Structure 1
């Protein structure tokens, strides 16, 4: 059974058709890239999957359950997490407290009121910071981080709830070449527990990280398959040459 599976999704904004029958299937422990020219519908599809937008037509199943009409909070509880392109870390708080708050989202109100969770979660906080090469800066404000490091912190925060599927919208946007390489290295270990859908314009990064790709153009899926299959598809080559 697929972890995530949709029927063809239609999404319109007035007369503008953003998605015109786009569909995607993602398996467990799969890194799936979502690519296409600007305006092809990638971000709209991600928002439909996350619950930020509701499809005009089409259904979304996650772990065998129809979540088409579920709220973003309900999807998060089911194991779906999203990180948008723009970072949403709390810059005035330390890295430690940013991760702690993300972990405390599952804590009871009583535990939060009496501050029982901070000590209990310490090892997990430091473990996540270590995993993303940020432990040495645990007690510095998030505002002191570079753009790339803030992206890593937010990915760590998105993983705090131990999701089954993480949606990443342009995680390497604005990063240096070295930061992009490191990002790929940091993502690989999570594959044992979490699948990914990644929207990216950096095709070299996508090819190195992903198992499968889905290509969108003008709201339609024109190709889906392994990296090698997609690279060899003449429809994909034509789209990128046309938009070059």
Structure 2
């Protein structure tokens, strides 16, 4: 059984049909990329998967449970975690405290009320910062980080809840070529315990890290398959040439 399955997903905004029967299937410890021209429906589908939007029609199943109508917090408790393109770190707090707050979301109210969680979570905070090459900046304000480093911090925060599935919407937007390369290296180890769905415009980046790709065009799935299958697909080649 797939970890995540979306079937017949349509989303209508007034007279605009943003998605028209889109489908997606993601396996355990699979990195799955969503690609397509601007306006093809990638981010809308991602929001339907995360619960930020409710589909007009269709069904989203996660770990054999229908989550179509669940809110983002309910999906997070079920094991999903989402990072949108716009960075949402708390800029005046240190990197350490940003990660700590993300980890404390798993703590009981009693632990938080008596400040029991800070010491207990210290090792996890530092492990995440080290994993994303930010440990030497642990006690700097998040606002002092580069754009790429802020994105890494937010990915670390998204992983703090130990999700089964991480959803990333254009994580390398605005990054330098070197930051994109490092981002790919930082994401690879999470495959040991977490699946990934990623929306990305950088085709070289997404080709290098993903196992499978789904291509959207005008709200519909044009093709889905391995990276090699998608690269050889004539219809996919044509839409990118047409929109170039």
Q: Please give the TM-score of this superposition, normalised by the length of structure 1.
A: 0.99
Counterpart residue number, 2:5: 5
Counting matched residue pairs gives 244
Q: Does residue 161 of structure 1 match 2:161?
A: yes
CA–CA distance in structure 2, aligned partners of residues 167 and 71 of structure 1: 15
1:102, distance to aligned residue in structure 2 (A): 0.1
1:171, distance to aligned residue in structure 2 (A): 0.6
3-state SS of 2:57 partner: coil
Counterpart residue number, 1:30: 30
1:123, distance to aligned residue in structure 2 (A): 0.2
1:176, distance to aligned residue in structure 2 (A): 0.5
Counterpart residue number, 2:225: 225
Q: Following superposition of structure 1 onto structure 2, how do residues 1-244 of structure 1 map, counting pairs within 5 Å?
A: 1-244=1-244
CA–CA distance in structure 1, aligned partners of residues 218 and 143 of structure 2: 37
CA–CA distance in structure 1, aligned partners of residues 175 and 54 of structure 2: 31
When the two chains are superposed, the root-mean-square deviation of aligned CA atoms in Å is 0.4
CA–CA distance in structure 1, aligned partners of residues 183 and 52 of structure 2: 26
1:115, distance to aligned residue in structure 2 (A): 0.6
CA–CA distance in structure 1, aligned partners of residues 147 and 6 of structure 2: 33
CA–CA distance in structure 1, aligned partners of residues 76 and 134 of structure 2: 25
Please, which runs of 5 or more residues in structure 2 have no aligned partner? none
Output one character per residue of 1:81-119: Cα deviation in whole Å (capped at 9) or x when no partner.
Answer: 000000000000000000000000011111111110000
CA–CA distance in structure 1, aligned partners of residues 109 and 164 of structure 2: 25
CA–CA distance in structure 1, aligned partners of residues 59 and 207 of structure 2: 28
User: Deviating runs (4+, > 4 A) in structure 1?
Assistant: none
CA–CA distance in structure 1, aligned partners of residues 187 and 14 of structure 2: 38
Output one character per residue of 1:193-228: Cα deviation in whole Å (capped at 9) or x when no partner.
Answer: 000000000000000010000000000000000000
3-state SS of 1:23 partner: strand
Q: Please give the TM-score of this superposition, normalised by the length of structure 2.
A: 0.99
